Amino acid sequence: MGYRCAICLTLSCEPVKLQCSHLFCKLCIERTFETSKERVCPMCRAEVTKDFVMKIDKEAREEAKQSNPDEYEEVLKNLNKLKLEEKKILKIKIKYGNRHKLAERPTNYHKNRSVKNKHIWTAFIEVIHPRVKDTDLIEKVKFELHETFKNPTRFVTKAPFKFTINGWGEFELPMTITWKKHLKMPPTTFYHDLCFDDGGKWHEYVFRIHEDLIKPKTSASKVKVKAVKPAPFK
């Protein structure tokens, strides 16, 4: 087991040793860090510093090869196929949270006029990618406000997926994305603690998706061709 990745459990052809000495496939640990909020070892939870370079441990790679040459060649063959497929994978960043500013003219809270709605905040979800738009992925977003709001469940069905409202207090704000049907992905819910400090607060979430799923190819049988009348002979 000494030369096997602690994530995929296969013989590691491109081993990377973290600062804690635990060994992982380079591809496995890169994927883990991409989608995790924490940069820690999956085995011992030791912090991996930002200046740590993901370089292949050549000595460990040679030892892995010598330990089982046949398995090593098979894993290497599969890894090369995976790398070709990896080029078609897009890493999509979802940014979600709230922006905030103080109201110039606070309004009365509808249940208690002594309480002022002095905060203006905007809840939002947006896609960050040079080739992908919000509308390529998102069908709608549900924002679940505190029960003291009028109409606490809000749906936004077109981009930009955000809304602005006045309020007086902070609370946990669940945001649920319904993805486009062709993605065949279940809804994703993010939980955000509303923040009225420093202009608000937001988070980033990264997920991976095959580029062919972003804009599905239209079947030739479904393409509608507009008929054009031929010009009359003169």
If one counts the domains in the chain, the total is 2
Q: How far is CA 47 from CA 5, 17, 33, 131, in A?
A: 18, 13, 12, 33
Does 74 share its domain with 116? no
Residue 24 φ then ψ, to 5°: -140, 160
Domain with residue 111: its CATH number is 2.60.40.1970
pLDDT tens by residue, 70-103:
999 999 999 988 888 888 888 899 999 999 999 8
Residue 234 has pLDDT above 50, yes or no: no
Evaluate whether 102 touches 118 at the Cβ level (below 8 Å): yes
Query: 149 lies in which domain range?
Result: 90-214
Evaluate whether 121 touches 164 at the Cβ level (below 8 Å): yes
Q: Which of 87, 115, 137 marks a domain boundary?
A: 87
pLDDT tens by residue, 137-190:
999 999 999 998 889 999 999 999 999 998 888 999 999 999 999 999 999 999
Does 102 share its domain with 34? no
Does 103 share its domain with 201? yes
- Evaluate whether residue 130 is within a structural domain: yes
Does 80 share its domain with 168? no
Does 194 share its domain with 210? yes
Does 37 share its domain with 124? no
pLDDT tens by residue, 12-51:
999 999 999 999 999 999 988 887 878 999 999 999 998 9
Question: Which structure tokens are listed for 208?
Answer: 């991976």
